[in-house]
Structure 1
Amino acid sequence: MKRRNLFVVTTLSAMLMVGMSACSQSSEEDAANQPESDAVSVDSSADSTTASDANEKDQSKETSVESSTPEQDDPVTKVEGKQTYIEKLDNIQKELDAMPDKKDSDKGVTNAMKNYYGVSYEKYDDALNEIYALLKKELSPEVMAELKTEQLQWIEKKEEKAEKERLKYEGGTFENVAWYISLYESTKDRCYELVKEYMRN
């Protein structure tokens, strides 16, 4: 009986130890597996954070691109006031035509022609400066840079043309008249060109 009890106790002890050892292994395995699952969840949350950050960055880029796109795609190429400036230019000519020197100028009186075309050139030159200043203020920088280059080329051609006209009459009484007529005509034409090309109603 004592032997049987001893056998049972020994067997139970052995089973208990095997069970405990199995439990401890299983808890060790659980512990070993636990950091991996945590790591996966941390990594996946890091991925989701990175993905959401990337989406926010992409959206902010899209927003900034959208906000800057209108300027790039649609530079200001025309300004308001076309009709107003055409009327202003037409009125300059009406004022000039009402000058006392106009009648004598039409008759070919040299002094009257010199005075009339000298004043006419100055009036349209002032108008041209006013138009150019408005365009410089309102047009987009890219368009204005092109216009500036074009305007400098135009000034050079205008002066060359006037000089050629003057030289035709060099030494004569009509020399300065020819020069002023050329300057007046070129400048008047340029005023209308700028208004028609760079302005809208």
Structure 2
Amino acid sequence: MKHHKYLIALLASLFVVLAACNTTDQDSATDPDNDTEMLDPSEDEDSNGIDNEADQGEVPDDPNEEVEGLREAYLARLNETRDEVEEMRENLEDDTTAGMLAFESERFEAWDALLNEIYNTLEEQLSEGEMEELREEQREWIDYRDETAEEAAEEYEGGSMESLERIAVLANLTEDRSYELVENYME
């Protein structure tokens, strides 16, 4: 159960940073039509090492400086999350299908929370026109993500690996999309 402690700590730190970045209700990255805030974090400390001042939307004199700093901060967080999740996977104590399913579910939740945070940050930075384009692109990506996960799970239809494959693909694609949004839109 050691990996659960690390994943819970990782999720808690992600929720704290999400709260710092979400000062207003934003559209959800997983549901662009949803106008309600998805998470209500209860912790106040940021344990991921990212400077909260940059995440709280303080605008420096040079707007490009903020974007570069924020972009680098998010890339560092994404890399740190990827490394921590990989370490937990390597040290997974419960390697049963149920244990792996629980791990992949938590992994998907962690990446989805980061993706939502990134999407909400972009909503604050992009112009209305750019955001509308991103919103449409995100809707298409969600359809692609869900269809791809279902297709992958069909290979194991009726078996114990069906759910595991579905959630693992969702997590993988969400991780990839998180990097894509930061690299392509936070420039």
TM bracket, shorter-chain basis: 0.5 to 0.7
**1:6-155 matched pairs, under 5 angstroms:** 79-80=67-68, 81-99=70-88, 102-104=90-92, 109-155=96-142
In the TM superposition, residue 82 of structure 1 has moved relative to its aligned partner by 1.2
Q: Which runs of 5+ in 2 are unaligned?
A: 1-63
* CA 111–102 in structure 1, closer or farther in 2 if over 3 Å, else same: farther
More helix, by proportion:
1
SS at structure 2 position matched to 1:159: helix
1:164 aligns with 2:128: no
Q: TM-score, normalised by structure 2?
A: 0.60
2: CA distance, partners of 1:111 / 1:93: 22
In the TM superposition, residue 94 of structure 1 has moved relative to its aligned partner by 2.4
Residues 79 and 135 of structure 1 are in contact (CA less than 8 Å); yes or no, is this contact kept in structure 2?
Answer: no
Q: TM-score, normalised by structure 1?
A: 0.56
Cα deviation, 1:90-122, whole Å, max 9, x if unaligned, reads: 1112222333x54348x9632232122111111
RMSD: 2.2
Cα deviation, 1:121-169, whole Å, max 9, x if unaligned, reads: 1100000000000001110011111000000000000000111111211
Identity of aligned residues (%): 35
2: CA distance, partners of 1:91 / 1:121: 15
Residues 102 and 112 of structure 1 are in contact (CA less than 8 Å); yes or no, is this contact kept in structure 2?
Answer: no
* Alignment correspondent of 2:45: none
* CA 145–79 in structure 1, closer or farther in 2 if over 3 Å, else same: farther
Q: Which amino acid aligns with 1:175?
A: E
SS at structure 2 position matched to 1:98: helix
